[in-house]
Structure 1
Amino acid sequence: MEYVLDDDPTRIQPDVVWDWLSTEAYWGRERTRADLEAQLASAWRLVGAYRRDTGEQVGFARAVSDGVAFAYLADVFVLDDHRGRELGKQLVRFMIDDGPGRDFRWVLFTSTAHDLYRQYGFELADDTAMVRPRRVPARRA
């Protein structure tokens, strides 16, 4: 494999994460850089995908959890030049199945990639789940 996955939070390259999330993500663009920094600092687990030869970060996933039974998967992405190599699958597998939360109840919000997440046991919400939609304030500077 020409890539390595790592859950060492000190290895995350915030500029790479910010650059992608603030320009490419269809979700969460109302976040400021300070918001992202707070999310990184308070995350239960951060996973990065890195080029083995250069250490450049090319993928990312973040999770929030109570550390006992529940986790929320967020901000999963792979940079365009590195797609098509199953890095998205590897990130999700490493985060969920190979991590300390493998037996947790996981949730995520996505309007795309349903087939990817189904491979890891995600299903459409059942009658035990309710969601209060986020109230999106005007974008802050």
Structure 2
Amino acid sequence: MDDRYEVDDDPGRIDVDAVTAYLRAEVYWARWRTDDVIRAQIRDAWRVVGAYAPDGAQVGFARAWSDGHASAYLADVYVLDEHRGHGLGKALVRKMIDDGPGAKFRWMLHTEDAHGLYRQFGFAPGGHMYLERPSARGA
């Protein structure tokens, strides 16, 4: 990761307004959520990780929910377009799943377009044991 950037898991540092605005407008997976839903998801997350530019502005985010003991779900990982190419996506995922309290957990996620990133961290198709009931909202 470019050492001019910071990645940390301080929930007090998260710019909730910026995350909410980005998720509502820029990503396919969150457009159905209201501002209140996103704010509640951030507030109630088991863990959040932010990526910050040299000027301190938040430029990336990841959140997870977990039972706190054995399994966790990785969600809402993003890096603003103009800050991509500095290793921030990898740094966010590494900080969340490898460098924290969930390092030995079973991790799950859904993605339509970032399989290459997550394969680098050991994510693979669920195999014959994984079942899922899709949302009534669709994808």
Name the counterpart of 1:42. 44
Name the counterpart of 1:135. 136
Q: Does residue 104 of the first structure (1) align with residue 114 of the second (2)?
A: no
1:113 Cα deviation after fit: 1.0
Give deviations 1:42-75, integer Å, cap 9, x for gaps: 10000000123x2100000000000000000000
- Tell me the SS of whatever aligns to 1:127: helix
TM-score (norm 2): 0.95
In 1, distance between residues paired with 2:67 and 2:91? Answer: 23
User: How big is the alpha-carbon RMSD for the aligned residues of Structure 1 and Structure 2?
Assistant: 1.0
Name the counterpart of 1:59. 60
Name the counterpart of 2:115. 114
In 2, distance between residues paired with 1:106 and 1:128? Answer: 14
Query: Which runs of 4 or more aligned residues in structure 1 lie more than 4 Å from their structure 2 counterparts after TM superposition?
Result: none
**Which runs of 5 or more residues in structure 2 are unaligned?**
none
The one-letter code sitting in structure 1 at the alignment partner of 2:65 is: V
Q: Does residue 33 of the first structure (1) align with residue 30 of the second (2)?
A: no
Give deviations 1:21-47, integer Å, cap 9, x for gaps: 111111021100000111011100000
In 1, distance between residues paired with 2:57 and 2:105? Answer: 31
- Identical residues among aligned pairs (%): 57
